[in-house]
């Protein structure tokens, strides 16, 4: 049965999408069967995975599944049709409608979780890229998940909002998903030469002992450039530090899960 991990942070620009897509590729290279769900209406992850609205089938995205207009199976695409790769469920701006439409649905927090029951046996990992807010789509992602993976951007007010994330995690765990755990915090755009970044890392370790990954994702130009080419960093620049860091993160996650 798949392990489901949501990449979550209220803030935008902290590395949620970069982490989801590159981690998916790394886990796939390590022999895991992986599905990425783009749960952000901005569709950044979808673009990085090469999704374009070209055929009628391309109109089957997360919104169509969540609103009952398509089966979840119909909405699964392959990241690279030409070689064995990981799968994904894309999103486009109509996912914004979901926030309003879910409000009046019975069991509104559980819609995604119920749908994933049909897919769980096909994958080892389901990675969900969350939007930068705490709406019903994010809540659906957290209710469908076993773990939260929380990217922290060392550059801007790194630790701002950590209390709010913890409070929301505890609320979801208490009220709707008792099995939800925090897999870990991953420091992104990390530069160990900067004392500000080292201090942020130390403070995170003090506040969340054992929960901050040893791996850090260094600032890397190829990580910033690859989305414009609609590629993950492994396909774009396999030898760059971004690829090395995400591979190390994948291995650390696998060993963390093995020890639990």
Ligand X SMILES: Nc1ncnc2c1ncn2[C@@H]1O[C@H](COP(=O)(O)OP(=O)(O)O)[C@@H](O)[C@H]1O
- Contact residues toward ligand X (CB under 6 A) are 12-18, 44, 132, 188-189, 217, 219-220, 223-224, 227
Pick one of ligand X, Mg ion, none as the site partner of residue 15 (Cβ within 5 to 8 A by kind). ligand X
Among 2, 8, 16, 139, binds Mg ion (CB under 5 A): 16
Q: Could you say whether residue 47 binds Mg ion (CB under 5 A)?
A: no
Nearer to ligand X by Cβ, of 10 and 110: the residue is 10
Q: Least distance from C-beta 195 to Mg ion, angstroms?
A: 28
Q: Is residue 44 close enough to count as binding Mg ion by CB under 5 A?
A: yes
91 touching Mg ion, by CB under 5 A: no
Q: Could you say whether residue 17 binds Mg ion (CB under 5 A)?
A: yes
Of Mg ion, ligand X, none, which one does residue 223 interact with (CB within 5 to 8 Å by kind)? ligand X
Query: How far are the Cα atoms of 85, 149, 184, 185, 256 from residue 211, in angstroms, in the given order?
Result: 30, 10, 5, 6, 10
Closest separation in Å from C-beta 75 to ligand X: 21
Residue with smaller CB distance to ligand X, 80 or 222: 222
**CB closer to Mg ion out of 38 and 64:** 38
Of the candidate spans 37-45, 56-64, 152-160, 162-170, the one that interacts with Mg ion by CB under 5 A turns out to be 37-45
Binding segment for Mg ion among 11-19, 118-126, 195-203, 208-216 (CB under 5 A)? 11-19
Given the complex with ligand X, which of 12 and 59 has the nearer CB atom? 12
Closest listed residue to residue 250, CA positions, set 16, 2, 23 = 23
User: Which one of Mg ion, ligand X, none interacts with residue 219, CB within 5 to 8 A by kind?
Assistant: ligand X
Of 15, 242, 20, which is closest to residue 126 (Cα–Cα)? 20
**DSSP string of the chain, one letter each residue:** --EEEEE--SSSSSSHHHHHHHHHHHHHHTT--EEEEE--TT-HHHHHTT----SGGGG--HHHHHTTSS-GGGG-EES-TTS---EEE---TTHHHHHHHHHTSTTGGGHHHHHHTTTGGG-SEEEEE--SS-SHHHHHHHHT-SEEEEEEESSSSTTTTHHHHHHHHHHHHHHT-TT-EEEEEEEEEE-TT-HHHHHHHHHHHHHSTTTB-S--EE--HHHHHGGGGT--HHHH-TTSHHHHHHHHHHHHHHHHHHT-
Query: Which residue stretch of 36-44, 47-55, 98-106, 133-141 sits at the interface with Mg ion (rule: CB under 5 A)?
Result: 36-44
In the complex with ligand X, the residue whose CB is nearer, 60 or 149, is 149
Q: How far is the CB of 224 from ligand X (least distance, A)?
A: 4
Q: Which residue has the tokens 């559980």?
A: 110
For residues 44 and 226, which CB has a smaller minimum distance to Mg ion in the complex? 44
**Other CB atoms closer than 10 Å to residue 193's CB: what's the count?**
6
User: CB of 133: closest distance to Mg ion in angstroms?
Assistant: 11
- Residues in contact with Mg ion by CB under 5 A are 16-17, 44
């Amino acid at each position: 049965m798949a392990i489901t991990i949501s990449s979550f942070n209220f803030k935008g620009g902290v590395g949620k999408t970069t982490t989801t897509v590159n981690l998916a590729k790394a886990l796939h290279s390590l022999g895991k069967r992986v599905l990425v769900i783009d749960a952000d209406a901005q569709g950044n992850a979808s673009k990085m995975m090469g999704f374009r609205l070209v055929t009628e089938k391309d109109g089957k995205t997360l919104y169509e599944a969540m609103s009952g207009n398509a089966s979840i199976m119909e909405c699964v695409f392959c990241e690279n049709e030409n070689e064995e790769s990981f799968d994904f469920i894309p999103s486009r701006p109509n996912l914004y409608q979901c926030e309003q439409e879910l409000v009046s649905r019975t069991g509104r927090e559980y819609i995604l979780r119920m749908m994933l029951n049909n897919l769980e046996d096909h994958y080892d990992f389901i990675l969900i890229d969350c939007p930068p807010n705490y709406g019903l789509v994010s809540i659906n992602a957290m209710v469908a998940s076993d773990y939260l993976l929380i990217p922290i951007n060392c550059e801007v007010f790194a630790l701002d909002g950590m209390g709010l994330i913890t409070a929301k995690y505890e609320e979801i765990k208490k009220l709707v998903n008792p099995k939800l755990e925090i897999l870990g915090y991953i420091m992104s755009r990390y530069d160990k030469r900067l004392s500000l970044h080292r201090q942020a890392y130390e403070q995170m370790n003090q506040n969340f002992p054992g929960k901050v990954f040893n791996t850090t994702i260094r600032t890397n130009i190829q990580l910033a450039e690859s989305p414009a080419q609609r590629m993950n960093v492994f396909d774009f620049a396999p030898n760059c530090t971004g690829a090395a860091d995400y591979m190390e993160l994948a291995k650390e996650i696998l060993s963390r899960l093995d020890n639990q």
